[in-house]
Amino acid sequence: MATLVLGAAGAAIGGSIGGAILGVSAATIGGFIGSTIGSVVDSWIISSLAPTQRIEGARMDNLRITSATEGAAIPRLYGRMRIGGNIIWATAFREETKTTTQGGGKGGGGGGKVKTTEYFYYASFAVALCEGPITGIGRIWADGKLLDTAGITWRWYPGDEGQTADPLISAKMGVDNTPAYRGMAYVVFEELPLGNYGNRLPQLSFEVFRPLADPDTADMVVALDRLQAMAPAVESVSLVVAWFGDDLRAGSCKVRPGVEVSAKSTTPVSWSVNGVSRAGAFLVSRDEQDRPVYGGTPADFAVVQAIQEMKARGLRVTFHPFILMDVPPGNTLPNPYSDNAAETGQPAFPWRGRITCSPAAGERRSRRCSARRRLQASASRVSRFRGSGLRATGACGAWCCTTRISARRRAGSMPS
């Protein structure tokens, strides 16, 4: 309406003035100016009368706890273990809103406004882990993924007898009503954002470190005690001892005893396997956080003591030699599972069953060779593999498992 009225008024005013500019009459110019002003007025009137559109995001109506079981047993662990927890305390969630407005056009025109409201939630809670005292917590997983704790307020309590109550729990429940949970290790999260977990507490698991209850008791003895306590009818055990291979190519793979650190003092006996000292042993690879990716090979004397301990308990013992493949990421070794073994880089930490000839059976050069030549080449590589430091005379025996491996890898039949 304003466009029509002001357009007519502008044309009348321009017509009364008369004349022309660049061949355009003053009445036409006046009508154009009036129509433009009227259009702006119409847009402002329409937008002011149009209702504001409101959009609201998902909103929680209750706090969903992942696991909170009354009367649950408190786990006891030794060494390093990944363990889940049990929620022992939680606050009501805290809601935070954020509202943004769009639309309306420049100067108030251009249609109705859109107002969007988003909801963000935060929760504070405590998770019981295990019997204390523990010495530390390593990695944390939330819904199976590593949790980046940067920017998250959290703290852990070792579970010793001098443990004090958490200040957040005390502030919420009162000092007289807050237990210190002495003897139990637990973790407290403060204002954990829940948006990445579907507005719920995620399933958490923790890497927990706890020393032996008696530092003078060997891990093996404690493990056997717990095994016989939990399975009193057990009669046979398998003792797994690992050495390390470093290449998928049978002719180049060396199988050696390995250690996590090359310099370490042990008493009363120094580490030694098949006459190899710690300084001369294979050093296992380490991850991006400088942690060994494998545990090392036990010393010969430790294997003998373990067998003697198990035999003294009336257990039948099966010695199980085992090969772990330590081929780290980013290696430049030729990949036998490529034509002519020309591809650089073997898979990281592969299965030992992938040890094969180079190139592997079925790859390009293998097809060109006759069956007789494949047999001769395979026998030569297996012979080198069997001789790669495996002629042991120590307590671990002769590593007979490599003989079984070589028998399955004749005449280009690798891998099995």
Whose structure tokens read 């399975």?
Answer: 231
Asked if the structure places residue 127 within a domain, the reply is yes
Shared domain for 326 and 389, answered yes or no, is yes
Shared domain for 253 and 295, answered yes or no, is yes
Instruction: Determine the Cα–Cα distance for residues 10 and 337; give it in Å rounded to an integer.
Output: 85
In the DSSP assignment, the letter for residue 75 is P
Shared domain for 99 and 198, answered yes or no, is yes
| Residue 23 burial class via C-beta count within 10 angstroms: exposed 0-12, middle 13-18, buried 19 and up | exposed
Spatial contact of 260 and 367, defined as CB atoms under 8 Å apart = no
Residue type, 294: Y
Asked if the structure places residue 58 within a domain, the reply is no
Which tokens is 282 given? 């294979």
Shared domain for 121 and 170, answered yes or no, is yes
358: Cβ contacts below 8 Å, ≥ 6 apart: 249, 250, 251, 252, 334, 336, 341, 381
Spatial contact of 64 and 126, defined as CB atoms under 8 Å apart = no
Asked if the structure places residue 23 within a domain, the reply is yes
Shared domain for 339 and 253, answered yes or no, is yes
pTM: 0.47
Shared domain for 224 and 203, answered yes or no, is no
Shared domain for 34 and 133, answered yes or no, is no
Give me the DSSP letters along 252-264: T--EE-EES-S--
Asked if the structure places residue 120 within a domain, the reply is yes
* Tens digit of pLDDT at every position of the chain (416 positions): 555 665 566 556 656 666 666 555 656 665 666 667 667 666 666 666 555 555 555 555 544 445 566 777 888 887 788 998 899 999 888 888 888 877 655 554 455 677 788 888 899 999 999 998 888 888 899 998 999 988 899 999 999 999 999 999 999 999 999 999 999 999 999 999 988 888 888 889 999 988 765 666 667 887 888 788 778 899 999 999 999 999 999 888 999 999 999 888 887 889 999 999 999 999 999 999 889 999 999 999 999 999 999 999 999 999 999 999 999 999 999 999 988 888 999 999 999 989 888 888 777 665 555 556 656 666 666 666 666 544 443 433 434 333 333 333 333 333 33
Instruction: Determine the Cα–Cα distance for residues 384 and 286; give it in Å rounded to an integer.
Output: 28
Asked if the structure places residue 204 within a domain, the reply is yes
Instruction: Determine the Cα–Cα distance for residues 182 and 198; give it in Å rounded to an integer.
Output: 33
Instruction: Determine the Cα–Cα distance for residues 237 and 316; give it in Å rounded to an integer.
Output: 6
Where does a domain end: 188, 210, 232?
Answer: 210
Domain membership of residue 31 as a residue range: 2-49
The region, left, alpha or beta by phi > 0 then psi within -120 to 50, assigned to residue 74 is beta
Shared domain for 167 and 247, answered yes or no, is no
Asked if the structure places residue 74 within a domain, the reply is no
Instruction: Determine the Cα–Cα distance for residues 360 and 354; give it in Å rounded to an integer.
Output: 10
Shared domain for 119 and 240, answered yes or no, is no
Shared domain for 398 and 278, answered yes or no, is yes
Which tokens is 306 given? 């373990």
Asked if the structure places residue 343 within a domain, the reply is yes
Q: Could you tell me which of 189, 250, 222, 185 has the C-alpha nearest to residue 407?
A: 250
3-state class percentages of the chain: helix first, strand second, coil last, to nearest 5: 30, 30, 45
In total, how many domains does the chain have?
3
* Pairing mode, strands 113-131 and 94-103: antiparallel
Spatial contact of 168 and 122, defined as CB atoms under 8 Å apart = no
Within 75-218, where are the H helices? Answer: 167-173
Shared domain for 259 and 293, answered yes or no, is yes
Which pLDDT does position 391 carry in this prediction?
44
Instruction: Determine the Cα–Cα distance for residues 27 and 29; give it in Å rounded to an integer.
Output: 5
Which pLDDT does position 396 carry in this prediction?
39
Shared domain for 203 and 231, answered yes or no, is no
| Residue 74 burial class via C-beta count within 10 angstroms: exposed 0-12, middle 13-18, buried 19 and up | middle
Which pLDDT does position 293 carry in this prediction?
93
Which tokens is 184 given? 């139990």
Instruction: Determine the Cα–Cα distance for residues 20 and 17; give it in Å rounded to an integer.
Output: 9
Instruction: Determine the Cα–Cα distance for residues 260 and 352; give it in Å rounded to an integer.
Output: 20
